[in-house]
Structure 1
């Protein structure tokens, strides 16, 4: 396995990379919980913002990282005649980058900070630039530039910071870029430049601006600058540019002082510091603050907190400790320190996406912030494994986005449980959206044992849409609000179990001509968006079938706690009463009948249903749908291979099939038939063999999302307009690949499952191919480059699979189950494998000892000790169980050691 590129230098995820600027699309992420979000490259390109309408630095897409000259810069005029950029952003340095005379550059980065060291080979001047966003309530990015003379002769330096201040909405990048510069009111303060636009032009209209954008600076002793260049065009001069500005090249004096104002021009955080002489070995540091100020907030408070060597160092230490605490509760000790370090970054990723959504990074150059419905639920998967806080209130709030027709709100506010009506048109319906809440809820219940959560009540979302967004409710008006009401006008509330039932029962009846669930606007694969009439998703029909079984299990478990029956909306009886499941027309009519009952209001009447009866009803539907898929959708390919059709297109034709031109296969079509037990054991083995043959790409070390269909497929989705191997058209897409691994593990195909997980890691950490920092990307393009890093749901699923399947540490209705599926190669040289996680409010350290070097299938759990004392655990399938009551009586730190022993030989001949 290649280990080129970055190398970990400690146990905290800190890594070092030489020549980082030789990778054009490389960027790092800096942010805090106050909403400051920055992207930064090894040459300090990137942007900084708090939202779509408040960019401090110019918004960038990934191509801008090497195309634009607008970047954070710190200039040095050396000995009065030579220009050198401490960030590498001079025209002269760029021209030398691919020659033997280039600067010597290395990057060191950790959670979440980076330091770039750059050495000028001619003068010996060394610059260390450390950047981070402090883990405070301040919306500020900090930079410290430390200059050191490593040469033999003294150096006379004139330092000048030059950071263009964009100060407006991202919309204005091409919409009224010049006109919005006329709004800028720029003021020089004793320590920097502040821009306070008069108005904000964005989709909200012309509104009074309440933000100020600041670039401030001090030297290590806290001394203020000696002058300023507040206007870009004055700084660069006629014929000059940001990578060769006249003000520095010609040694111009900074004539603007504190109190100077300039209105109506593109602004620059141009800060001139006093000349300095550095003797050989001498150092000098400068601190820059890039901040967004609210209302009349003064920059003085920021300078007081961060504008000194001690303040900067203290903030950096606190920030590092904050991010380390985020990953300390889930850690893996695999015996491979590189894998352990990589997993630490993967562990951080769900937190990053929860804070940033799917926008605001150079690859994620779409959307306007916030998260999607699917993201809400998947990000909680990792929270349940990592954070102590009670997530039940968060989950309860999320259920408030469910409509009574089984669809959900798609405009999600910034506050937990905040959903908004889409008044701009008919929104898309993703047919898979109803499935994800149950997956997360089941994990929550398994982790906590809180079956009563299912009986908590929540309102339903209501807007002008009805009939799964195919019709509008003419009786609704915005003044009525976004809560579904009963006939008496009061907001209606139903149990969370009722919400889940509505999501799954409406899906069950919402079928196409092949009696599987309609694709509607798309499913998880957002690119399958052009089969809205006749398209069907067999793939997610399988997940809904599995979920119906899960709901049945939960109903029986709830009955076991003493709840004999459950109260449900009277309208649900329409979806629970008997109907001929084989009759597509009958199912459609039944669904339309229900839609009519909940179009504007509900009756408010509730009926009681025995939980055992409800479970049997759900099981009947699950069994029918599973058998239907198993019988109708299986493709027997011969040579020990086969797979399930995953979709029907808008012409009603199966997408997965064997044609004269070859096999057509989708990975998504296999994942949930495996995961939900629809595929038989024999079929599971055939699916694995077929995926190895048709979807595995050794050059990417992983499984593609689909084979090359070789045509545009306007009857299926825009994905097939993408070049093959990119995005949703056959990329090695991490999210579905990880779910495939999870499904393989659940079916006992452990070696095949580990091949998927190990392949993603191997490709990610191979810097020569992936060109990315540690972590898991959304996908790998055909050249092996990791695309869309940091913000991907695959991180949560990777961690979930590692913890609950590979290490087998998971909950079972609140009890702790230990059922490892570790291969011999996954134990270290001492025959041990360890994982740290949270469970039952305890910090667990679980170690499996395998002195006989057995592999999965050869061992079982033998002796168990808890905090050094022998412990008698209950036997469980493939492992042992520790009751929650026993765990709750233990101290906060719990160390569990389980001995792996050989399975007893079977009795008899």
Structure 2
């Protein structure tokens, strides 16, 4: 088994790989060396790109070679090279490109250092001919050196800020100021390009683009022999170019030469100098490459699946890497994800923690606790997430949006943490509330607000338990209903594209989620030791329906009703269950179509969205995930959903039917062409959650088909998915938005909890596998995962190769000793679970 991906590239399919370290440097690189490089939103070393930029090669990383006078580019952009195939190898997180022709072998290895903010390209040229060849090389790396806002806003003006200096084997640029939304500020970031060769010296430097182009073009520059600038030259007010020409050398047959390109982004010249002192040595580059591979191998070793086939095992290993990338990159900064300022949103905070919980990361408890500091007292939450854990900021430009689903996710994640650890004490830790002046579910604003975005009462920081925060968010989500009795859609729910129904729109899927959350909270209350629960008075009145949600908003907006009261946990639990039952009745009466499946939304005109001919996957997903239907009705839902939304040719379950018109009373999603993004694509995140719901009801045949179709689509060459799974497949089955999708956390959750049946409940482990016959390799399926902070290998042994539904657990052997136990508070490191026919 290997996790490397090796391909022969015959044409540009838009592949790219993220390159990243934990110091904030983020890059993307293609087999043609396109992509960009940045350290945060405002500091791009290479020009920012979106999807089409993957195919723009003339202003990205390159070395122009002349082999016996014939031009050959490192990035393969010459006419001849574009028609030649080459070998492409990807590892975590590095890539190797190998090009061969009748004279030379050209091998380029690209990666980012773990501890230094440098992107490194190591180029090895071998003379594979039988004759001596002459070789010249000129590096070609345009240095963007600013914010992406300057692409079309003050592009020329910001070039006037550049101070470019030629140094030994390098070109450095430190602009005087930055021009962006933050205003005009002194710049403290330094951008650099250095290049070295183990057999030749730099003969001349071309540090500005004007001199490089010199009457030609970026593709065919005419200034490559310019010798106007030398070491020590300083040039001000021009676009910067990392171009250095090396002396001509001769290579004997079989002889090799090495070149390097080192692109840096630092805040001190001393750091740049230290980096270059280290990586001017080619042996140090090779050592660091090994460090990178070992680092990501270890980082990505928190869970392992040995299931089905080597191809699937390798694919899932890339899936388990994706949540790690999300943790450090957020949901932006890669070519498809070309929106916003990077970072993560509220939902991302909680979704990404799902896989982090499985990794036994010691920071999880603190992260969960700190995240609750983003909750407002009106039940809404901050949507601008700071760089530090628990840091929240007021909404950008004071433009506020409320996603109706945001209040639902924190409980899902917190409950998973409690189940995995048994730590109920976290619920009683006190946490502050976010306060930026917005009230009434962010629809109104106070004349004044807190200077530090923290809710204050009588001059002191106001706090409530994590349990209080959870009760608050879910009760607001429950009571914030429209005229049909379902949770108001507000400015969107999970589907960001449903953003034009904030007056009368309602979301049935998240009505179901909030309903189940009240039942979960009631169950949690039954497990805690405390007999009385402390909450603030206004919340107590709300849960007891002593006043409506608008009275609640009015009261807390003026900091009234925040005195603490105690409520008997049994009374509170029964009340939550009673509220859930009421909403369940509403769903039963109003949200079922033809006794087959669930209605999805109410539009901005107050009408239900779906008819007998249409369906939204989100509603069926949330129903199955949240235990809404009976088993019999769940089967009907599965049958109807497959009939209406399943498309085997493009990856499985579409997000919705084709409504065949632009629904301006629902949202921008329905302005997209059908089969793209939030309008009817195979949206892998929701499709995976739907699959989880199918397994939740033991509808394993449907569920296995769903997950296998989704995963197999990514393995098809025509899907253009390099590794892992994308955010969605379009109507041609092509994957879009790679590496940073929340799908990965849910795939891990699906495999661990449902398929492998690792059931954790308030810190206690039991096994309930739902593996099908094809999941086993020679009668064995294995998972290696953390349980109670200890790495455990669990092996399911199915000697008779029985299918799901045909087997039961016959015995459990722990560390070579059979046990009669079926529920475990602690467990040994090696577990064998034997499956056999029913008695």
Q: Specify the TM-score bucket, using the shorter chain as the normaliser.
A: over 0.9
1:602 offset after TM fit, Å? 4.5
**1:791 paired residue among 717, 726, 740:** 740
Please report how far the alpha carbon of residue 457 of structure 1 lies from its aligned counterpart in structure 2 after TM superposition: 1.0
2:456 matched to which residue of 1? 485
Match of 1:817?
Answer: 766
Deviation at 1:304, TM superposition (A): 2.3
Q: 1:850 aligns with which of 798, 801, 816?
A: 798
Show the counterpart of 2:446. 473
The CA distance in 2 between the partners of 1:298 and 1:224, in whole Å, is 24
**Separation in 1 of the partners of 2:138 and 2:236?**
22
Asked if the contact 2:538–2:562 (Cα under 8 Å) also holds between the matched residues in 1, the reply is no
CA RMSD across the alignment: 1.5
Aligned residue number for residue 877 of structure 1: none
The residue that corresponds to 1:619 in the other structure is 577
- Cα 1:423–1:187 change in 2 (3 A) is closer
Checking the alignment, whether the CA contact within 8 Å between 1:237 and 1:247 is kept in structure 2 is yes
Deviations 1:341-376 (A, max 9, x none): 000010000110111112111111111111000000
C-alpha separation in 2, matches of 1:599 and 1:253: 68
**Corresponding residue for residue 582 of structure 1:** none
Distance 2:561 2:589 in 1: 40
Q: Would you say 1:151 and 2:139 are equivalent positions?
A: no
Is the 8 Å Cα contact of residues 648 and 709 (structure 2) preserved in structure 1? no
The aligned residue for residue 119 of structure 1 is 100
Tell me which of 579, 600, 605 is aligned to 1:646: 600
After the TM superposition, which residues 389-468 of structure 1 pair with which residues of structure 2 at under 5 Å, given as runs? 389-422=362-395, 424-468=397-441
**Aligned-residue offset at 1:24:** 3.9
Task: State which of 100, 103, 118 in structure 2 corresponds to 1:140.
Answer: 118
Which range moves more in the overlay, 751-760 or 63-72? 63-72
Residue aligned with 2:679, SS: coil
Partner of 1:7: none
1:606 and 1:154 mapped to 2: Cα distance? 86
Q: Aligned residue for 2:568?
A: 610
- Corresponding residue SS for 2:830: strand
Match of 2:58 in 1: 69
Q: How far, CA to CA, are the matches of 1:205 and 1:701 in structure 2?
A: 46
Paired residues for 1:289-308 under 5 Å: 289-308=262-281
Cα pair 1:55 1:167 within 8 Å, conserved: yes
Q: Secondary structure at the match of 1:601?
A: coil
Contact 2:211–2:226 under 8 Å retained in 1: no
Give the superposition deviation at 1:224. Answer: 5.3
**Match for residue 687 of structure 2 among 730, 737, 750:** 737
Aligned to 2:34: 45
1:183 paired with 2:164, answer no
- TM-superposed CA distance for 1:424, in Å, is 2.1
Aligned mate of 1:694, from 644, 647, 650: 644
1:774 and 2:774 aligned: no
SS in 1 for 2:156: helix
Provide the C-alpha distance between the structure 2 equivalents of 1:872 and 1:154, rounded to a whole number of angstroms.
Answer: 75
Q: How many angstroms apart in 1 are the aligned matches of 2:380 and 2:57?
A: 43
1:108 maps to which of 89, 99, 109: 89
1:287–1:308 contact (8 Å) kept in structure 2: no
CA deviation after TM superposition for structure 1 residue 569, in Å: 1.1
Deviation of 1:546 after TM superposition, in Å, equals 0.8
2:431, 2:465 within 8 Å by CA — same for their partners in 1? yes
Q: Tell me which residue corresponds to 2:530.
A: 563
Q: Deviations over 1:398-457 (max 9, x none)?
A: 000001111000111000000011262341100000000000001000000001111111
SS at match of 2:686: helix
1:172-321 alignment, distance < 5 Å: 172-220=150-198, 225-238=202-215, 240-248=216-224, 252=225, 254-321=227-294
Match of 1:594 among 552, 568, 571: 552
1:53 and 1:170 in contact (8 A); partners too: yes
| SS of residue in 2 equivalent to 1:226 | strand
Aligned twin of 1:901: 836
Deviations 1:456-481 (CA, angstroms, capped at 9, x unpaired): 1100000121000111112x2353x2
Name the CA distance, whole Å, in 2 between partners of 1:104 and 1:153.
24
Confirm or deny: 8 A CA contact 1:763 1:770 kept in the other structure: yes
Task: Report the Cα offset of residue 600 of structure 1.
Answer: 3.6
- Change beyond 3 A, Cα 1:446–1:246: same
List runs of 5+ in structure 1 lacking aligned partners. Answer: 1-9, 580-588, 875-880, 905-909
Whether the aligned pair in 2 keeps the contact of 1:24 and 1:66 (CA below 8 Å) is no
What secondary structure does 1:275 align onto? strand
Query: Relative to 1, partners in 2 of residues 1:255 and 1:118: Cα closer, same or farther, differing over 3 Å?
Result: farther
Task: Please report how far the alpha carbon of residue 228 of structure 1 lies from its aligned counterpart in structure 2 after TM superposition.
Answer: 1.1
- Please give the residue correspondences for 1:613-762 in structure 2 after superposition, counting only pairs within 5 Å: 613-636=571-594, 642-658=596-612, 663-762=613-712
Larger deviation: 809-818 or 663-672? 809-818
Q: Report if the CA contact (8 A) 1:645-1:655 is conserved.
A: yes
> Is the 8 Å Cα contact of residues 374 and 436 (structure 1) preserved in structure 2?
yes
2:47 aligned partner: 58
Contact 1:24 1:65 in 2 (8 A): no
Q: Structure 2: which 5+ residue stretches go unaligned?
A: none
Q: Deviations over 1:31-62 (max 9, x none)?
A: 01001100111110111001221000011111
Given the superposition, is the C-alpha separation of residues 724 and 104 from structure 1 closer, same or farther in structure 2, using an over 3 Å criterion?
closer
Matches for 1:380-391 after TM superposition, within 5 Å: 380-391=353-364
Work out whether residues 450 and 456 of structure 2, in 8 Å CA contact, stay in contact via their aligned partners in 1. no
Q: 1:843 to 1:298 in 2, by over 3 A?
A: closer
Deviation at 1:578, TM superposition (A): 4.2
Name the counterpart of 1:584. Answer: none
2:506 matched residue in structure 1: 536
Residue 649 of structure 2: SS of its match in structure 1? Answer: coil
> Which residue of structure 2 aligns with residue 14 of structure 1?
4
Kept in 2: contact 1:87–1:118 (CA 8 A): no
1:882 is paired with a residue of what secondary structure? coil
Contact 2:505 / 2:603 at 8 angstroms: preserved in 1?
Answer: yes
Instruction: State how far apart, in whole Å, the 2-side matches of 1:387 and 1:220 are.
Output: 45
- Off by >3 Å, runs of 4+ in structure 1: 295-298
Matched residue SS, 2:287:
helix
String of CA shifts for 1:821-854, please: whole Å, max 9, x gaps: 01111111x2110011111111111000011222
Deviations 1:735-763 (A, max 9, x none): 00000000000011011111111111110
Aligned partners of 1:426 and 1:48: how far apart in 2?
30
* Inter-partner Cα distance in structure 2 for 1:323 and 1:164: 29
Matched-pair contact (CA < 8 Å) for 2:370–2:390 = yes
Counterpart in 1 of 2:20?
31
CA offset digits 1:546-588 (Å, max 9, x no partner): 1111111111111xxx322221112211112146xxxxxxxxx
Offset at residue 389 of structure 1 (A)? 2.1
How far residue 627 of structure 1 moved from its aligned partner, in angstroms, is 2.3
* 8 A contact 1:219–1:308 mirrored in 2: no
Kept in 2, the 8 Å contact 1:701–1:759? The answer is yes
- Aligned-partner Cα distance in 1 for 2:291–2:270: 23
- TM-score (ref. length: structure 1): 0.91
Who is 1:586 aligned against? none
* Partner SS for 2:270: coil
| SS of 1:861 mapped into structure 2 | strand
- Partners in 2 of 1:120 and 1:45 — Cα distance? 22
Q: Distance in 1 between the 2:747 and 2:682 partners? A: 15
In the TM superposition, what is the alpha-carbon distance from 1:237 to its structure 2 partner? 1.9
Q: How many Å separate the matches in 1 of 2:461 and 2:561? A: 11
